[in-house]
Structure 1
Amino acid sequence: MTTVPDAHEAHGATFREYDGRRVVEEYGRPERTHRAVRNGVGVIEARYGIVEVTGDDRVDFVDNAVSNAVPADDGRGVYALLLDAQGGIETDLYVYNAGERLLCFTPPRRAAPLVDDWREKTFIQDVEIREATDDLGVFGVHGPTATEKIASVLHGGAGAPDERLSFVRGSMGDAGVTVIRNDDLAGEEGYEVVCSADGAAEVFETLVVRGNNAVPFGYRTWETLTLEAGTPLFETELEGTVPNVLGLRNALDFSKGCYVGQEVVSKIENRGRPSRRLVGLAADALPEAGAAVFDGDSHVGEVTRAAVSPTREEPLALALVRFDADLGDATVRVGGEDVPATREELPFVEGSERSARLPTYE
């Protein structure tokens, strides 16, 4: 459930169910809203499950479980993965060191299973693990003027943080907030503003109507922004996929000790190129997720997601295809027909920043 349903409704929001949670779909005119974010700044209530880990052994415990090095210092964060025994992604998560606690931001449906799993593995470590999803509100601020927006409403802090996944504390109105410099998944400058659930309504209104102008937007716009940015998402590309297939190098630290799935991924890395890769396609018609991709007469992969780009005004798609497919004669299956498609370098649209998840292959 959104933390501020009345505020969203006052701005004309429509809603949809996502992983059992009610989130904003749009506020009307999503294509126009998309362009407003690309040209200025927008605000979205972010969908996360949140896991809190406390206790003296909290950093070591989480560090031993995930694919990246958990920071020991307050004010820092990291993007990481939990992998299964075959190296597939069980969940992705952001881990933030908030002093006496770690906060782990996960896809919504992964928070409760993660709490149960980690509680079973504590043994003699001094850790306490609980779900904190309903305690906090989280709002994303995205666009080429996002820094100016944050600066216009953040008080009592050191200014907007510069380094990705670092954060500062301050206030917006009477509400205490933590402002995180995020990893620009929309292809634009980005921040996340975290507050108590009780202060969420004031923070949302502050972000939308005070200081510099900002447009509220929902998940329909988020999906087109991240598609244009070439960002793989958990629900459509990451879940169950081996990280190197996605070129997802920012989530892995191979200098660490062993974690679940690391040995498998290391072996795949050492063998050279992966079996598949994530590519961008511009098609003559809009395919559905799962649509077959062909290179000449050969079936080489499937579309993971697609949409009509509001910026380019044409259908764009992400697809997982055989690594050796050159796609010189590419088509995608749409409505039982094969329609022409052209492979394009990612991102599809160059914004004010590049997504930290942009696929990178060596």
Structure 2
Amino acid sequence: MTLVSDTHDAHGAVYRDRGGRQVVDHYGKPERVGKAVRNVVGAIEMGYGILTVRGEDRVEFVDNAVSNRVPDEDGQGVYALLLDPQGGIETDMYVYNAAERLLVFLPPERAEAVAEDWASKVFIQDVTIEDVSADLAVFGIHGPKSTEKVASVLGGPGAPEKPLSFVRGSMVDAGVTVIASDAPLGEEGYEVVCAADDAEAVLDTLINRGLNAPPFGYRTWDALATEAGTPLFEYELAGTVPNVLGLRNALDFEKGCYVGQEVVSRVENQGRPSRRLVGLDLDGLADATAAIDGDADPEGYDAVLPASGAAVFDGDEAVGEVTRAAVGPDAGDPIALALVQFDAALDGPTVRVDGEEVAATRVALPFPSVDGSARSARLPTYPDER
């Protein structure tokens, strides 16, 4: 269950399950608050699973397991992947060097399995792994005014500047850690970490003190991340080879061996993957989505938009499938992300929705309507674009 249900309930939260954890889906006005995040700032409780890794060999141990180089300096973090032997993504994660421990943020459904797997691989190393998901709360602050928001309530140092670096300070009477995000929503952003006992007070501070930051849920998060061109674990990453998603920020091609590295390196050396992630404007659904008041009936879009797995056609040929679709909060238009054959022309693509072919247009990522305050570090990058 969420750590701050009283605060969420007071704002009219509707919940959903995310990997066995209850998170806020929306507060009844996901479109309106999405525009607020794009224009000003908003706050969300993040549904992470959280591990700590302690011991003298902690950095080396995790570095040997993941696709990116784990920092050995306190106050720094990295985005990384855990792969299977075939190169498929088992999970993504953020790894932060927090002095005597590493903090690992990952999808909640993967926390227990990763903790057990890593513990089974500890032999003579000085390493201990613990699931602390119930002990810490993490809140995201995103939007072009997020720096101003954090500055208005953070006691101690100024907000960190380098993506995935962090500082320690206080909010009200609570100790907090403030992390500069890597802009998954295409906006400046931060994550605020605190003890679970302080979660209610910290969230109230983030929402109501200094510059107000209206709360938003994962329905808005998913839509904003779609606009920003950010692949997410539950939709695009799970089981996919990272080259297919252009996730170069998660890969260090110079570091030592890790599970799945041979596949990643082979695809890199071949020059291109088999598929790529693209953006689609769902032109043929514009009238249908415009007829729905997404604030009054946010679930109404679910019956109109293509489901995950909907076929994408280039002429008469099926060339891929939709991974997720949304009505973009910025422009209010129906959009989708899709995994398609790498060399598909997509001159006049269509998407199958309820047995019918709906017209679409391929667009560059991030979606052209988004003129955000930052670019997502996960924005796909491919060999023919570098």
Alignment TM class, shorter chain as reference? over 0.9
Could you tell me whether the CA contact under 8 Å between 1:229 and 1:350 is conserved in 2? no
1:151-230 pair list within 5 angstroms:
151-156=151-156, 158-230=157-229
Q: Where does structure 1 lack aligned partners over 5 or more consecutive residues?
A: none
Question: Is residue 2:364 matched to residue 1:345?
Answer: yes
> 1:314, 1:26 → 2: CA distance?
19
**Partners of 1:59 and 1:212 in 2: CA distance:** 38
Alpha-carbon distance in structure 2 between the residues aligned to 1:121 and 1:310: 44
2:74 aligns with 74
Mapped partners of 2:168, 2:275: distance in 1:
42
- Alpha-carbon distance, 1:139 to partner: 0.1
**Separation (CA, whole Å) in 1 of partners of 2:202 and 2:68:** 31
In structure 2, how many angstroms separate the alpha carbons of the residues matched to 1:52 and 1:254?
26
Q: Distance in 2 between matches of 1:309 and 1:189?
A: 18
Aligned partner of 1:253 in structure 2 is 252
- Superposition pairs for residues 43-62 of structure 1, below 5 Å? 43-62=43-62
1:333 to 337, 352, 360: 352
**1:122 CA drift (Å):** 0.6
| Pairwise CA distance, 1:340 | 0.9
RMSD: 0.7
Match of 1:281 in 2: 280
Render the CA deviation track for 1:91-113: whole Å, top value 9, x for unaligned. Answer: 00000000000010010010000
TM-superposition CA deviations, 1:315-335 (whole Å, max 9, x none): 100000000101002111011
Amino acid of the residue matched to residue 20 of structure 1? G
Secondary structure (helix, strand or coil) at the match of 2:360 reads strand
Q: How many residues align?
A: 361
Q: Which residue of 2 aligns with 1:323?
A: 342
Q: Which residue pairs with 2:381 in the alignment?
A: 360
Distance 1:123 1:333 in 2: 51
Deviation at residue 350 of structure 1 after TM alignment = 2.4
Runs of 4+ in 1 over 3 A off after TM superposition: none
SS at match of 2:221: helix
Conservation of the 8 A alpha-carbon contact between 2:18 and 2:109: no
- The 2-side partners of 1:313 and 1:38 are apart by 12
Letter in 1 for 2:379: L
The amino acid of 2:259's aligned partner reads: V
State TM-score, norm by structure 2. 0.93
Aligned residue identity for 2:26:
E
State the alpha-carbon separation in 2 of the partners of residues 212 and 350 from structure 1: 22
Deviations, residues 23-76 of structure 1 (Å, cap 9, x unaligned): 111112111111011110000000100011000100110011101000001000
Which of the numbers 304, 307, 312 marks the counterpart of 1:293? 312
2:375 aligned partner, one-letter code: R
8 A contact 1:228–1:309 mirrored in 2: yes
The aligned counterpart of 2:137 is 137
Whether the 8 Å contact between 1:288 and 1:303 is mirrored in structure 2 is yes
Amino acid across the alignment from 1:298: E
**In structure 1, how many angstroms separate the alpha carbons of the residues matched to 2:328 and 2:104?**
32
Letter in 2 for 1:302: E
Where do 1:299-318 residues align within 5 Å?
299-318=318-337
Q: Which amino acid aligns with 1:350?
A: D
Q: Does 1:126 align with 2:126?
A: yes
Structure 1 stretch displaced more, 142-151 or 27-36:
27-36
Provide the identity percentage: 69
The residue that corresponds to 2:104 in the other structure is 104
> TM-score when scaled to structure 1?
0.99
CA distance in 2, matches of 1:77, 1:59: 12
Task: Tell me the CA shift for residue 313 of structure 1.
Answer: 1.9
Secondary structure in 1 matching 2:71: coil
User: 1:18: how far off?
Assistant: 1.6
Query: 1:83 — aligned with what?
Result: 83
Q: 3-state DSSP class of the match of 1:44? A: strand
Cα separation, 1, equivalents of 2:147 and 2:130: 33
